[in-house]
Amino acid sequence: MNNGYNRDGRQMPRGDQPPRPVQRQPQGQPQRQMPGADPRMQNPRGNMQRPAGQSNSRMAQERRQMPPQNTRDPRAAQQRPTGQRPMAQGASSQQRTRALNDTHRKATREQMREDKRRRRKEARRLFLGRLAVYGIMLLVLAAVVIGMFAFVFYRTPDENESTVNFVEKYDGKTGISNEVSGDLAYRNDVLYVNFSSIADGCDMSVIIDSKNAKFVLPDDGDTSDSAGTGHEEYVMFVKDSREIVICGQDFRLSDAAVFSDGDVWVPGNFVSDYMNGITVDEDKAGGNVYITREREDASDEDGDAPLAEVSFKLKATTAPDPTEPPEDAEITGDMPEVRFTTDLSAYEKYMNPKNADEYLVLVNKTNSVDADYVPSDLVNIANTRDDGRATQRMREVAAKALDAMFIEMYAAGYTDVSVTSAYRSYEYQGQLYNNYVANSGQEAADTFSAKPGKSEHQTGLCADLHNLPSASTAFADEEAYEWLSENAWKFGFILRFPEDKTEITGYMYEPWHYRFVGRNAAWKIHSAGMCLEEYLKD
């Protein structure tokens, strides 16, 4: 020990002096204990007190030979590896725990970040999907709104959703206005008129039940005769049917009669075509229909001329009167006097037109008509077969002449004949021809069907008419065909494809196919036994 002196014997400065040695308990004396203290706490290492006279080295040797003691947990000493200090082992365990905790926290934070990213991605995808759906719905809604706006403000008014004002004048001066809904006034774009109202204005008597309605005109216009003298003119309509009876003769309307709330509605053309003294004028743009009783002198501007007599153009068959052709009719040769059972004087200008050459156009396998040709004066045919097919059409002059022929034919008792085909467009003729070729082959089809552009049907001057389920040469065996063979020329019609002219016409015999050429030409072709090609060639 230096005791405050260095190796040279000099006293060391006080700051450089080593600490003083710890005073130890004198040997041979027991260690002092605090009252109530645990002896083991006073000697925590469990060192034995050195007996008096025992050296320190021996005490150290003994301590080395003794097993370590742990006053707190003996098992901890057994589990601790040899030579490892307890404090070091605890520190290492804590480090591992902290490392594991850090790793777990990192994994947890990473998982949370991944979950958050996944939720954000899912929310973004859901948002975009909803946005797309809402966008589509918005576009559809906008389209619907725009469509409705255009429909409401820019569409053409439909007759069925509008009203029509009927102005009826029967006394020549006072007009009676009656506004009705469009669905009553128009059906399939055909004007209908209230015949019950017309009958009331013309003093007709009415007999009506659930199926039929009969309107009777008094004889000679005398209302006192309305009880019936046997000479009255009348018309009888059948509910929801085209069949009518005029003065005892069966006939057909262009469209079915309609019974509604006790009134009878009929096509307006019935009044125009089959009644005298009443006119029907349609102002479709203005929504007005004028029904007027005519005056005997239509040129009387003051309205003082007497009213014209109201009558039906078809008369009873018991009193046939000859129909004299007008003075300006072009009749040449030995044409016999034309007589009809019914009064067809109103149709004379159609059966024997002044401009007859206009109707002598030739269309056959070598003479074509343009694909875009459509006659400008097509009108409905009243006698179209009532089997669901569309109403057939012809040029106006030919259609009126055909009406006259049906009136006379029905009066003769052949009421089962009807029109099955008339005007055909270029496109429709092409469809028919292609179907025939597909079913029968082109060679056979060319004998009975025309190629598009080479069909007379496109001219609007011919009609197929018969009383069979379908067109057939068997019609030649029917009595109605015999009547047509003898009388068709009187109305301006010819049999277009005779049996003995197939080599000239290029088509098979068609006893149902009739072509309008006007009475003068029809008489010459009929009397000479020619076909149209031969007549026009000469």
* Residues with catalytic function: 510
Phi, psi of 259 (to 5 degrees): -100, 125
Q: At what angle do helices 396-411 and 479-487 cross, to 10 degrees?
A: 130
In angstroms, rounded to a whole number, what is the distance separating the alpha carbons of residues 239 and 212?
Answer: 6
In angstroms, rounded to a whole number, what is the distance separating the alpha carbons of residues 437 and 145?
Answer: 49
Q: Enter the tokens of residue 463.
A: 């009609």
β-bridge pairing 288-293 and 233-238: unpaired
Q: Maximum CA pair distance of the chain?
A: 187
8 A C-beta contact, residue 378 and residue 465: no
In angstroms, rounded to a whole number, what is the distance separating the alpha carbons of residues 449 and 433?
Answer: 6
Kindly provide the b/e burial profile for residues 445-476, where b requires at least 16 CB atoms within 10 angstroms of the residue's own CB: bbeebbbbbbbbbbbbbbbbbbbbeebeeebe
The DSSP annotation for 48-104 comes to PPPPTT--HHHHHHHHHHSPP--SS-HHHHHHSPTT--HHHHHHHHHHHHHHHHHHH
In angstroms, rounded to a whole number, what is the distance separating the alpha carbons of residues 380 and 360?
Answer: 21
Q: From residue 379, how far is each of 177, 240, 374, 408, 516 by CA, in Å?
A: 29, 22, 12, 20, 15
Q: 310: how many CB neighbours lie within 10 A of its CB? A: 22
8 A C-beta contact, residue 330 and residue 356: yes
Residues comprising the chain, all counted = 538
Cα angle 357, 358, 364 (rounded to 5 degrees) comes to 95
In angstroms, rounded to a whole number, what is the distance separating the alpha carbons of residues 317 and 333?
Answer: 30
8 A C-beta contact, residue 491 and residue 351: yes
